[in-house]
Amino acid sequence: MTNLQCEFHTIVVLVENKAGVLARIAGLFSRRGFNIESLAVAPTDDDTFSRITIVVDVSSTSLDQVVKQLDKLVNVLEIDALDPATSVERELLMATLSAPTPEARREIIDLVQIFDAQVLNVGFDQLMVSLAGSQRRLDDFEALLHRYGIIEIQRTGKIALNELAKVESSD
Amino acid sequence: MQINGAQAVLKALEHEGVDTVFGMPGGAILPVYDPLIDSKIRHILVRHEQGAGHMASGYAHATGKPGVAIVTSGPAATNMVTALLDAMMDSIPMVCITGQVALPAIGTDAFQEADTTGITMSATKHNYLVTDVNDIPQIIHDAFHLATTGRPGPVLVDIPKDLVLPDSMMEWYEPDGHDLPGYNPVTEGDPVAIVEAAKMVMEAERPVIYSGGGILRSRAAAELLALAEMTQIPVVTTLMNRGGFPDDHELNLGMPGMHGNYTAVMAMQQADLLIALGARFDDRVTGARDEFAPDAKVIHVDIDPAELGKVRFAHVPIAGDAKSIIAEMVKEVDKLGGAAAQPDRDAWRQTLSGWQEKYPLVYGDHEPGKLLKPQFVIEKLRDASPDDTIVCSGVGQHQMWASQYWTFNHPYTWINSGGLGTMGYSVPAAIGAQVGQPDRTVWAVDGDGCFQMTSQELITAAVERIPVKIAILNNSWLGMVRQWQELFYDERFSETSFGSEIPNYKMWAEAMGCVGFRVDSPEEVEPTIQKANEITDRPVVIDFRTQAEENVYPMVPAGASNSDLLVDPSQRGE
């Protein structure tokens, strides 16, 4: 199960939507010495359950242990350790940028168009932009934004689902 | 039937078959104590909440039934934390009910408010904060199910006061099943893996059965005996499984680990197959992990899948209940030809018996003018007490000597704090065990350091006429720490001496309503034990004055390889 080439793994956990469940998961990670890289949580279409997407750094531990320990939590129903090669991932980034001159503003808007991002809000010397996409794409966008002076930036951590089958299953 | 929340709590406990609870009332739990007067449930009023927790644990150990503790909010709940974590580490089924401030007061830093579910999250298998009086029957039903199934453990139910007040009415119902969609413990072992395991057993030349506390939790002692006798494979019994395989059986090598005997430690070290049954490769057993049992393949049976491969790679991991899996293994071994089809293991047997002969457990003779040898006291205690005596211990040298020198021939006769190593465990645990097994003799072998932590519970025992017996191996030191300071800190004894005259244990015992004795000389040991064993109407405390210089051997120094086991100085060659 453990993929030694990759230190970050995405685990999708279906949990009962009850008070304290997130604390149980966060507590488990801290006391077992597992490192969380990012974490996103929201109710599913059935609001008695929530889905938590955790990106875990398994360089210091085995993915197998993380999954088995998570499975011991009474409120955890399902755990899916996603293979990066066969999953679809999305993350959202929002950033407020310094744009004091018309040139800066134009350059930023060019970048927004190239990346299929959005301008969310405009101030007299600032712009707020957002981009949803793969982690890699967000990293690239963020790197390019740096020269304009990032006032604030917030990323959600990624969410992911398994890729859909392309042919009908034989069984 | 309309009843209030407090009545629902007691009705739910009765519904789970609870006959005894250990606890102490206080503000937030007060309403639950009112209907207790009318209940058939026996309540043992403790002197400190930690005592209630360890009593529940001792009761669970001795009976196999879940132990139940009821305490109030805030400091009572925090006093319970040690006992919960202790039960968690040793997989003891326990249900703890705590009072909580009323729902509207939660989060306001109210009087005696503590975030009990937050604090105990990592000290319990699961916990609940009840927020609706109607949930009480279901949650308590689920709590008992969680505590007693799968890998057992403590479950805490925190109940706000407003849900149990006299006007907190609800319609009583008997829960229909469980509301635990995420809880599905594995019990049946994978049949393919069991066949694979049986094949490995048939091929091994130097196999050892490494039996742990899971044998007792799974009530699998008979199955273990059947497997060992059929295959003639020797068995080591960890600290948590003393009694799970009879000590007087020729296949029993005894306790492995840091203070295990030479043969048990070396058998594992040189084995080519470890059959781990309900054991978790604890650091006290493995010593330096990388050097532990270097040539051994591993079959690992455990009800907790997370234990498989956690510490040691298992060639055949089998998740499930040891009882049924061992029974299946016996069948599979039989199908493969049984004992006769196994390789010739004479050489292995001879190696083991050679070690047993060369390195038995030893201690020196009594030295005139000196205090008692603690091992001698335990041997006398063992010989003068019934075969099915229940022995409890605290943590330290006395614990290791009790495990080493007692002969445990029956399961559920050894109760100690293995995983957490909780000093002060033995007195309350012994009381809980005696409550659960009123017709048996219960001895707590305690250290003087441990005794001073929880001995106030002897007042509980005296008042409740619970006739536990306490043997204090009193060397007036924190003995195990002293031993480490002697061996590893150049005999710089920092803060480990208690001084030998204070307290006066005999007077202290008498003040608590117990019979007290003090024993200084070897001649007095046996007659005093006889006297103590005849007392059945109150607790007894014997203050055995023991020699402080006595160390526990063998010993694997912390972090060292098990191969570097230090035997008794008298057995060391040049």
Number of separate domains in chain A: 2
- With contact defined as beta carbons under 8 Å apart, do B470 and B451 qualify? yes
CA atoms within 13 A on the CB side of A149: 10
Query: Nearest CA of chain B to the CA of A39: how many Å?
Result: 20
How far is B230 from B234, CA to CA, in rounded Å?
A: 11
For B191-358, CATH gives 3.40.50.1220
Which is the catalytic residue, given B65, B112, B506, B549? Answer: B112
Considering only CB atoms, A65 lies closest to which of B129, B182, B310, namely B310
Over range A97-118, report the average pLDDT.
95
Strands, E assignment, B448-511: 469-474
pLDDT of residue A42: 92
Residues A93 and A78 in one domain: no
- Strands A126-133 and A49-57, sheet pairing: unpaired
Return the higher-pLDDT residue of B349 and A2. B349
Residues B426-485: pLDDT tens digits? 999 999 999 999 999 999 999 999 999 999 999 999 999 999 999 999 999 999 999 999
Q: ω before B343 within 30° of 0 (cis)? A: no
Residues A98 and A151 in one domain: yes
Residues B504-552: pLDDT tens digits? 999 999 999 999 999 999 999 999 999 999 999 999 999 999 999 999 9
Name the one residue in this structure whose structure tokens are 């488990």. A28
Distance of CA A131 to the CA centre of its chain: 13
The answer to whether B126 contacts A74, with C-beta atoms less than 8 Å apart, is yes
Query: Which of A134, A140, A122 lies closest to A159, judged by CA?
Result: A134
- With contact defined as beta carbons under 8 Å apart, do B280 and B269 qualify? no
- With contact defined as beta carbons under 8 Å apart, do B332 and B198 qualify? yes
Query: Which of A7, A8, A68, A2 lies closest to A32, judged by CA?
Result: A68
Name the one residue in this structure whose structure tokens are 């063992």. B382
In which band, very low, low, confident or very high, does the pLDDT at A2 lie, cut at 50, 70 and 90?
A: very low
Residues A59 and A92 in one domain: no
3-state secondary structure B214-247: HHHHCCCHHHHHHHHHHHCCCEEECHHHCCCCCC
Cα four-point dihedral sign A137, A140, A142, A144: negative
Q: Is the pLDDT of residue A1 over 60?
A: no
Tokens of A52: 């938590």
B187 to B151, B198, B293, B320, B425: CA distances (angstroms): 10, 19, 28, 4, 31
Over range B245-267, report the average pLDDT.
98
Q: Which of A37, A65, A82 is the last residue of a domain?
A: A82
Query: Nearest CA of chain A to the CA of B418: how many Å?
Result: 20
Residues A21 and A64 in one domain: yes
B310 part of contact set with chain A, CB < 8 Å: yes
Percent of chain A whose pLDDT exceeds 70: 95
**H/E element holding B45?**
strand B42-45
A65 neighbourhood in chain B, CB within 8 Å: 306, 309-310
Q: Is the pLDDT of residue A5 over 60?
A: no
In which band, very low, low, confident or very high, does the pLDDT at B501 lie, cut at 50, 70 and 90?
A: confident
Domains B2-171 and B191-358 share a fold: yes
Give backbone dihedrals phi and psi of B162, rounded to 5 degrees, phi first.
-65, -15
Tokens of B366: 């009594």
Active site residue B480: yes
Give backbone dihedrals phi and psi of B392, rounded to 5 degrees, phi first.
-115, 155
B119 neighbourhood in chain A, CB within 8 Å: none
Is A97 part of a structural domain of the chain? yes
How far is B275 from B288, CA to CA, in rounded Å?
A: 19
- With contact defined as beta carbons under 8 Å apart, do A53 and A81 qualify? no
Percent of chain B whose pLDDT exceeds 70: 100
Residues A39-51: pLDDT tens digits? 999 999 999 999 9
Question: What average pLDDT is seen over chain B?
Answer: 97
Which of B310, B311, B313 is the mutation pick for testing A, counting most A CBs within 10 A?
B310
First CA to last CA across chain A, in angstroms? 24
Q: Is the pLDDT of residue B303 over 80?
A: yes
pLDDT of residue B574: 55
The CATH number given to whatever domain includes residue A75 is 3.30.70.260
Q: Directed axis angle between helix B5-15 and helix B136-148, to 10°?
A: 30
The CATH number given to whatever domain includes residue A156 is 3.30.70.1150
B192 part of contact set with chain A, CB < 8 Å: no
Distance of CA B416 to the CA centre of its chain: 4
Which is the catalytic residue, given B202, B266, B480, B512? Answer: B480
Query: Which of B291, B310, B294, B290 lies closest to B302, judged by CA?
Result: B310
Q: Which of A34, A64, A82 is the last residue of a domain?
A: A82
A68 neighbourhood in chain B, CB within 8 Å: 305-306, 308, 310
The answer to whether B305 contacts A69, with C-beta atoms less than 8 Å apart, is no
- Quote ipTM for the complex: 0.90
In which band, very low, low, confident or very high, does the pLDDT at A171 lie, cut at 50, 70 and 90?
A: low
Give the count of beta carbons closer than 10 Å to the beta carbon of residue A139.
Answer: 14
Residues A111 and A149 in one domain: yes
The answer to whether B180 contacts A24, with C-beta atoms less than 8 Å apart, is no
- With contact defined as beta carbons under 8 Å apart, do B250 and B232 qualify? no
Give the count of beta carbons closer than 10 Å to the beta carbon of residue B87.
Answer: 34
Is A99 part of a structural domain of the chain? yes
Is A167 part of a structural domain of the chain? no
pLDDT of residue A57: 87
- With contact defined as beta carbons under 8 Å apart, do B216 and B319 qualify? no
Over range A141-153, report the average pLDDT.
94
Angle at A77 between CA A73 and CA A79, to 5 degrees: 90
For B374-555, CATH gives 3.40.50.970
Active site residue B111: yes
Tokens of B64: 């196999």
Strands, E assignment, B238-340: 252-254, 273-277, 297-302, 316-319
**H/E element holding B43?**
strand B42-45
- With contact defined as beta carbons under 8 Å apart, do B496 and B448 qualify? no
Residues A153 and A138 in one domain: yes
Q: Is the pLDDT of residue B144 over 50?
A: yes
The answer to whether B182 contacts A76, with C-beta atoms less than 8 Å apart, is yes
**H/E element holding B69?**
strand B67-71
Residues A101 and A147 in one domain: yes
Active site residue B485: no
Is A169 part of a structural domain of the chain? no
How far is B516 from B272, CA to CA, in rounded Å?
A: 51
Active site residue B292: no
pLDDT of residue A62: 85
Q: Which of A82, A112, A145 is the last residue of a domain?
A: A82
Active site residue B112: yes
Domain B2-171: CATH superfamily, name plus number: Thiamin diphosphate (ThDP)-binding fold, Pyr/PP domains (3.40.50.970)
Q: Is the pLDDT of residue B313 over 90?
A: yes
Over range B55-78, report the average pLDDT.
98
Domain boundaries, chain B: 2-171, 191-358, 374-555
In which band, very low, low, confident or very high, does the pLDDT at A6 lie, cut at 50, 70 and 90?
A: low
- DSSP 8-state class, residue B344: P
Residues A74 and A92 in one domain: no
Strands, E assignment, chain A: 8-16, 35-43, 49-57, 76-82, 87-98, 118-122, 126-133, 150-155, 159-162
How far is B321 from B312, CA to CA, in rounded Å?
A: 20
Over range B323-351, report the average pLDDT.
96
- Checking A1-8 for CB contacts under 8 A at 24+ apart, the result is A1/A62, A1/A63, A1/A64, A1/A67, A1/A81, A2/A58, A2/A62, A2/A63, A2/A64, A3/A63, A3/A83, A6/A84, A7/A57, A7/A58, A7/A59, A8/A37, A8/A55, A8/A56, A8/A57, A8/A58
Residue B68, SS3?
strand
Question: Which residue from A minimizes the CA distance to B185?
Answer: A72
Q: Is the pLDDT of residue B240 over 60?
A: yes
- With contact defined as beta carbons under 8 Å apart, do B232 and B205 qualify? no
pLDDT of residue B478: 97
A5 to A8, A9, A58, A85, B24: CA distances (angstroms): 9, 11, 11, 13, 55
A27 to A22, B66, B125: CA distances (angstroms): 8, 26, 13
B347 part of contact set with chain A, CB < 8 Å: no
pLDDT of residue A4: 46
Considering only CB atoms, B309 lies closest to which of A64, A74, A77, namely A64
Over range B318-340, report the average pLDDT.
96
How far is B112 from B75, CA to CA, in rounded Å?
A: 7
Over range B200-228, report the average pLDDT.
98
Tokens of B218: 């799974």
B403 to B21, B241, B247, B397, B451: CA distances (angstroms): 29, 10, 11, 10, 18
Is A2 part of a structural domain of the chain? no
Residue-number span of the structural domain to which A21 is assigned = 8-82
Angle at B508 between CA B507 and CA B512, to 5 degrees: 115
pLDDT of residue A26: 93
The answer to whether A72 contacts B310, with C-beta atoms less than 8 Å apart, is no
Over range B231-250, report the average pLDDT.
98
Considering only CB atoms, A74 lies closest to which of B117, B180, B306, namely B180
B469 part of contact set with chain A, CB < 8 Å: no
The answer to whether B182 contacts A69, with C-beta atoms less than 8 Å apart, is no
The answer to whether A75 contacts B182, with C-beta atoms less than 8 Å apart, is yes
B107 part of contact set with chain A, CB < 8 Å: no
